[in-house]
Amino acid sequence: MPTSSLETEPYPSELLTRLCTCRHLLVLTGAGVSQESGIPTFRDALDGLWGRFDPAQLATPEAFDADPALIWGWYAWRRAQVLLCEPNPAHRAIAALADRVPRLTLVTQNVDGLHQRAGSPAVLELHRSLHRPYCRDCGYPHIPADPPCDVALDGAPLPPPRCERCRGPVRPGVVWFGESLPADVWEAAETAAWDCDLVLVVGTSALVYPAAELPLTALGRGVAVVQINPDRTDLDDLATFRLRGTAARFLPELVQQAWPDAD
């Protein structure tokens, strides 16, 4: 049976023991982790120039084909906002965990690159990245300008750049609605769910599939799942431990209590 929701420390000794003795830790993160760095979640209302748009209507191949400049401009704006943000204590705590457990697989639904900036190696990005656009036609990678500058002087979005190889339009590097996840990344994530002996699910609603299958796969094997989220999710009645609060608070505390003598 799952434990009661925890809102204060100290944490159960069973949880700390499982964490510091696991051989392969799977960490699945969602938008709630990056939200604490000031990045709005995909479901948040847009403001300013983009306030009149529905994000879901901008995140499709059809939208890009219909108005490449509009879609390229929106994703350039998103990337600019991300570059103004910094990793928060949750990102840094996950990076620290990689130095404390024999093996850690980090799977994220986020496209902002904050895990990498916090020091996490080999992040499995299920929805790819804002920072790695590529050619729509041939798939050749494109190095984006920093800082992003994709609007004209009158504020209108500029057309996307052309591919260096085939001159096709460069598209944002994220997975859109109706597109498949990168096969190699999903295969590695599934393999981890079948091999791990502890799962941390952090800042995700557990609504988006197939990512939401990963903790269910582990639970089906009898593996303990720890959920960290300030809100109720579909995992509440299944998780072994539920920490009701923000990742930026709980994750650093967990790491410190599990390894009190670490630097």
| Catalytic residue flag (residue 91) | no
Set 24, 91, 115, 127: catalytic member: 127
205 labelled binding-site residue: yes
163 labelled binding-site residue: yes
| Residue where the block lists tokens 């303990």 | 224
196 labelled binding-site residue: no
Q: Tell me how far CA of residue 126 lies from CA of 122, 136, 212, 230, in angstroms.
A: 12, 19, 11, 23
149-178: burial string, b at 16+ Cβ within 10 Å, e else? ebbeeeeebeebbebeeeebbbbbbbbbee
21 labelled binding-site residue: no
111 labelled binding-site residue: yes
Q: Which tokens belong to 250?
A: 């709980």
78 labelled binding-site residue: yes
203 labelled binding-site residue: yes
119: Cα within 13 Å, side-chain hemisphere: 11
109 labelled binding-site residue: yes
- Nearest alpha-carbon partner for 206 in 28, 56, 35: 28
- Nearest alpha-carbon partner for 47 in 10, 11, 7, 78: 78
Can you tell me whether residue 147 is helix, strand or coil? Answer: coil
174 labelled binding-site residue: no
184 labelled binding-site residue: no
148 labelled binding-site residue: no
CB-based burial label for 245 (10 Å; 0-12, 13-18, 19+): middle
44 labelled binding-site residue: no
Looking only at the bridges linking them, the beta strands covering 198-202 and 170-171 are: unpaired
Which amino acid is residue 245, in one-letter code?
G
Q: How many CB atoms lie within 10 A of CB 95?
A: 20
171 labelled binding-site residue: no
Binding site for NAD(+), by residue number, is 109-112, 203-205, 229-231, 247
Binding site for substrate, by residue number, is 75, 78
Binding site, by residue number, is 75, 78, 109-112, 135, 138, 163, 166, 203-205, 229-231, 247
Binding site for Zn(2+), by residue number, is 135, 138, 163, 166
Q: Which residues does the annotation mark as catalytic?
A: 127
